């Protein structure tokens, strides 16, 4: 309850911040407001793509005339970030021979603009040559724009703002598309009919809502025989997902599936397993953390959908470097990472038990 | 004398047992709970099944257990905002000791519980000895505890904070076991609630807790060691939060970094719905349990009936305000 409220308050604050920041600028370009609606189609080469060299892109072989440093602003508050960090560290290793320092910086434990905005400000002060950052909410817009106006190119990764900002490119999942992928996986797992419950992280988090809407839209458009039950939020917590999953199964003895949009899917899986409903109630979730993967292995979670977190940590730094030194633009501005679908059958390609 | 400072002022001569029962907030809240249960049993055929009732009871068990300590803290006129963080950090400590150092689970459990009690003790010491406001002290501890949770959770795999597995049959039983059809956490809750209720009503220390909250000055003058009473309440709350943390982690075989986020508000809400007054001097453990039950039934109801989840958040807010407001109105009517 409280987190939810905090989030909505912080989002409201963020919106306010963005609104406050806006009036400072309009003096300059009068045409600006009209532009965003038409420009992208004509100007940018391609809005959205998944490049073939995702996660493997190499730096341009050209040494800059001076040492450079690139800041990668990420998080370490949950295991999702382990491969992201690995990606950033790999980029650091690859760019080291060129005299470029890639620094993985964790400004706090929340992905809000209060935390990341300040980190961008200090990165500007410390004269980083480029910045890659998570852009968790709309409040990030003025900060990103300030860095770009100061001559520092910015890339966003993992999450980005709905409102346009001056970032060079984005590397991360298309959350709506991920929701649709999940919808397809669910429909196939339950044979195209039956009741499906949705446990979402927070109604106030846009990313979770996009995953929910993508799922619902896909099911509604393609599978009229699937009934979607009224969604609930588990605040990303496994213990709440556990009790909600139990309640769903109690209220709907014929429940066919549970879709968990964000954190804590193993709580729902545990409830299904404990109720002896493995195989009868299919669970679909996201990401490849250990707790989730163990239930995929057991077949309780039918499928979990990835978003190539390694590439999200790795590619921004390399592409920023290529832009700075080799003047290479990414082939599109929204580099959508792969949504790998992991099931019991292909899990070995994606995960090894850590203990 | 502490007996009389406890609840209402001296009772009027005509007051019967019945009017005393009627006057107790717990009674009206209990009636509200019964009404809710009756409505639900008509609204959903699944509500009154034993399986569902046990689910509800288990869902409220951690909140109720922490609410035992919270109620005592609130009776003394204090508050503890750190319980959610203490819950997470203690569970994380237990899990970490087992995974990292291969510590015996029982020993790890004891260390985890002591860790929680220590956090509570530190709260108490700062509040009593340094005289920092409880709200501020425990708000600080809330942040410290969450930070320690991340710290304890990191370093196992890289430096990224991860949930840590807690696989031990004993600990898993603590949070997820069954005795017959009854979830073990429900039994733990029942035992702790009964013991705590008897303790509050019948022991010297129990009565002193009320005395401190009703009139600290008077309690002090009549020889109550006020600081010691406060220290006891905060330490116990820390210990119970730690226990709830290990239960939660045991249920899911994982100590989660985000466990207990926001739990403090649920616990305070349970105590307040159940009749505890933030001004101190009033409250009972069973009242808090009824408060926790109302919230658990509401949450369960919304899923069973498939009602929009936003309404659930609203309804819990309404219940909190309504419970206190009705009590106010009723008391006003009486005194006039």
Residue A203: inside a domain: yes
Same domain, A50 and A160: yes
Residue A344: inside a domain: no
pLDDT, averaged across chain B: 89
Please give the pLDDT value at position B112.
97
Same domain, A158 and A194: no
Query: Following CA atoms A61, A63, A69, A70 in sequence, which dihedral angle do they give, to the nearest 10 degrees?
Result: -20
Answer yes or no: is pLDDT of B327 > 50: yes
Q: Is A244 on the interface with B (CB under 8 A)?
A: yes
Please state the rounded mean pLDDT for residues B275-292: 93
Please give the pLDDT value at position B334.
54
Same domain, A236 and A128: no
For residue A265, what is the domain's CATH number? Answer: 3.40.50.2300
Interface probe, candidates A208, A250, A270, A294, chain B, greatest B C-beta count within 10 A: A250
- Residue B211: strand, helix, or coil: helix
Same domain, A327 and A275: no
Same domain, A89 and A144: yes
Residue A255: inside a domain: yes
Please give the pLDDT value at position B39.
93
Residue A34: inside a domain: no
Token pair, residue B160, equals 């990224």
Nearest residue to B72 via CA among B293, B288, B292, B323: B288
Q: Which residue has the higher pLDDT, A43 or B271?
A: B271
Please give the pLDDT value at position A31.
36
Residue A349: inside a domain: no
**d(Cα B118, Cα B140) in Å, to the nearest integer?**
15
Chain A contacts in chain B segment 238-257 (CB below 8 A) = 248, 251-254, 256-257
Residue A30: inside a domain: no
Same domain, A93 and A212: no
Same domain, A267 and A149: no
Q: Is B196 on the interface with A (CB under 8 A)?
A: no
Answer yes or no: is pLDDT of B12 > 50: no
Burial of B35 (0-12, 13-18, 19+ CB in 10 A): exposed
Radius of gyration of chain A (CA): 21
Query: Following CA atoms A262, A267, A273, A278 in sequence, which dihedral angle do they give, to the nearest 10 degrees?
Result: -10
Chain A contacts in chain B segment 28-57 (CB below 8 A) = 44, 46, 49, 51-52, 55
Query: In this structure, are residues A156 and A170 in contact, taking their beta carbons and an 8 Å threshold?
Result: yes
Token pair, residue B180, equals 């017959």
Flag if B58 and A243 touch (Cβ within 8 Å).
yes
Half-sphere exposure of B103 (CA within 13 A, CB side): 17
Same domain, A198 and A135: no
pLDDT along chain A (355 residues), means of 10: 46 43 36 38 67 93 92 88 94 96 90 88 94 90 95 94 90 94 97 96 87 96 96 92 96 96 94 95 94 94 96 97 93 93 92 73
Residue A313: inside a domain: yes
Half-sphere exposure of B195 (CA within 13 A, CB side): 8
Closest-CA residue of B relative to A232 is: B309
Number of folded domains in chain A? 2
**d(Cα A95, Cα A318) in Å, to the nearest integer?**
8
Helices (H) and strands (E) in chain A, counts: 12, 14
- Enter the pTM of the model: 0.81
Flag if A250 and B159 touch (Cβ within 8 Å).
no
Same domain, A156 and A246: no
Residue A21: inside a domain: no
Query: In this structure, are residues B213 and B201 in contact, taking their beta carbons and an 8 Å threshold?
Result: no
Q: Bridge-partner residues for A195, per DSSP?
A: A227, A255
**d(Cα A292, Cα A267) in Å, to the nearest integer?**
9
CB atoms within 10 A of CB B254: 27
Please give the pLDDT value at position B308.
85
Same domain, A300 and A317: no
Structural domain span for residue A218: 175-305
Interface probe, candidates B163, B177, B181, B310, chain A, greatest A C-beta count within 10 A: B163
For residue A140, what are the contacts with CB-CB under 8 A and spacing of at least 6?
A14, A113, A116, A117, A120, A133, A156, A161, A165
Flag if A79 and B303 touch (Cβ within 8 Å).
no
Reported residue count of chain B is: 336
Same domain, A163 and A97: yes
Token pair, residue A297, equals 């292995």
pLDDT tens-digit series, residues B151-199: 898 865 556 778 888 989 999 999 999 999 999 999 999 999 999 999 9
**d(Cα A92, Cα A53) in Å, to the nearest integer?**
18
Answer yes or no: is pLDDT of B75 > 70: yes
Same domain, A159 and A181: no
DSSP letter (8 states) at residue B12: P
Please give the pLDDT value at position A224.
96
Whether ipTM > 0.85 holds is no
Region of residue A323 (phi > 0: left; psi between -120 and 50: alpha; otherwise: beta): alpha
Domains and CATH numbers, chain B: 15-335 (1.10.3470)
């Amino acid at each position: 309850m409280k987190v939810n409220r905090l989030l909505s308050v912080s989002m409201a604050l963020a919106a306010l911040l963005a609104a406050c920041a806006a009036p400072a600028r309009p003096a300059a370009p009068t045409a600006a407001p009209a532009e965003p609606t038409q420009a992208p189609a004509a100007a940018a080469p391609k809005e959205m793509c998944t490049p073939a060299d995702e996660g493997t892109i190499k730096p341009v072989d050209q040494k800059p005339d001076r040492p450079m440093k690139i800041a990668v602003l990420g998080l370490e508050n949950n295991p999702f970030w382990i491969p992201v960090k690995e990606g950033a560290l790999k980029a650091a290793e690859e760019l080291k021979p060129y005299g470029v320092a890639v620094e993985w910086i964790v400004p706090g434990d929340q992905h809000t603009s209060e935390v990341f905005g300040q980190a961008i400000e200090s990165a500007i002060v410390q004269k980083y040559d480029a910045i890659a950052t998570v852009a968790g909410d709309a409040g990030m817009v003025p900060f990103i724009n300030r860095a770009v106006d100061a001559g520092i190119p910015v890339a966003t990764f993992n999450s980005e703002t709905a409102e346009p900002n001056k970032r060079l490119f984005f590397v991360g999942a298309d959350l709506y598309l991920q929701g649709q992928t999940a919808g397809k996986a669910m429909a196939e797992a339950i044979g195209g009919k039956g009741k499906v419950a949705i446990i979402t992280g927070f109604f106030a988090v846009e990313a979770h809502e996009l995953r929910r809407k993508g799922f619902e839209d896909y099911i509604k458009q393609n599978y009229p025989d699937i009934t979607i039950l009224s969604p609930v939020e588990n605040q990303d917590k496994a213990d709440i997902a556990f009790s909600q999953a139990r309640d769903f199964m109690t209220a709907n003895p014929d429940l066919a599936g549970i879709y968990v949009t964000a954190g804590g899917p193993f709580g729902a899986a545990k409830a299904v397993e404990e109720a002896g409903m493995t195989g009868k109630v299919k669970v679909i979730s996201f990401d490849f953390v250990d707790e989730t993967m163990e239930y995929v292995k057991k077949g309780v979670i039918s499928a979990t959908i990835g978003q190539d977190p390694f590439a999200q940590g790795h590619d921004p730094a390399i592409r920023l470097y290529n832009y700075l030194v080799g003047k290479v633009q990414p082939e599109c501005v929204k580099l959508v990472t792969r949504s790998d679908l992991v099931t019991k059958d292909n899990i070995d390609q994606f995960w090894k038990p850590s203990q | 004398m502490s007996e009389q400072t406890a609840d209402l002022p001296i009772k009027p001569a005509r007051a019967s047992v019945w009017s005393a029962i009627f006057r107790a907030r717990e009674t009206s809240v209990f009636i509200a709970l019964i009404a809710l249960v009756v409505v639900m049993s008509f609204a959903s055929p699944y509500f009154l099944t034993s399986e569902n009732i046990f689910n509800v009871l288990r869902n409220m068990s951690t909140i109720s257990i922490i609410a035992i300590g919270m109620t005592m803290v609130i009776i003394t006129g204090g508050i503890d905002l750190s319980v959610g963080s203490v819950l997470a950090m203690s569970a994380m400590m237990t899990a970490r000791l087992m995974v990292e150092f291969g510590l015996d689970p029982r020993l790890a459990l004891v260390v985890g519980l002591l860790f929680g009690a220590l956090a509570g003790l530190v709260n108490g010491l700062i509040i009593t000895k340094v005289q920092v406001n409880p709200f501020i002290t425990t708000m600080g501890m809330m942040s410290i505890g969450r930070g320690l949770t991340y710290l304890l959770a990191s370093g196992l795999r890289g430096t990224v904070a991860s949930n840590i597995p807690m696989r031990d049959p004993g600990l898993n039983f603590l949070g997820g076991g069954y005795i017959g059809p009854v979830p073990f956490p429900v039994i733990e809750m029942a035992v702790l609630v009964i013991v705590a209720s008897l303790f509050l009503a019948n022991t010297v220390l129990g009565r002193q807790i009320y005395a401190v909250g009703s009139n600290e000055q008077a309690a002090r003058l009549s020889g109550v060691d006020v600081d010691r009473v406060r220290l006891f309440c905060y330490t116990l709350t820390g210990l119970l939060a730690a226990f709830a943390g290990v239960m939660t982690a045991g249920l899911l075989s994982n100590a989660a970094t985000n466990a207990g986020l926001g739990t403090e508000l649920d616990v305070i809400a349970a105590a307040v719905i159940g009749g505890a007054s933030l001004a101190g001097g009033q409250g009972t453990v069973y009242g808090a349990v009824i408060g926790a039950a109302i919230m658990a039934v509401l949450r369960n109801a919304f899923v069973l009936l498939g009602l929009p989840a936003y309404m659930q958040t609203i309804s819990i807010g309404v219940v909190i305000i309504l419970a206190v407001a009705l009590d106010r109105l009723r008391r006003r009517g009486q005194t006039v």
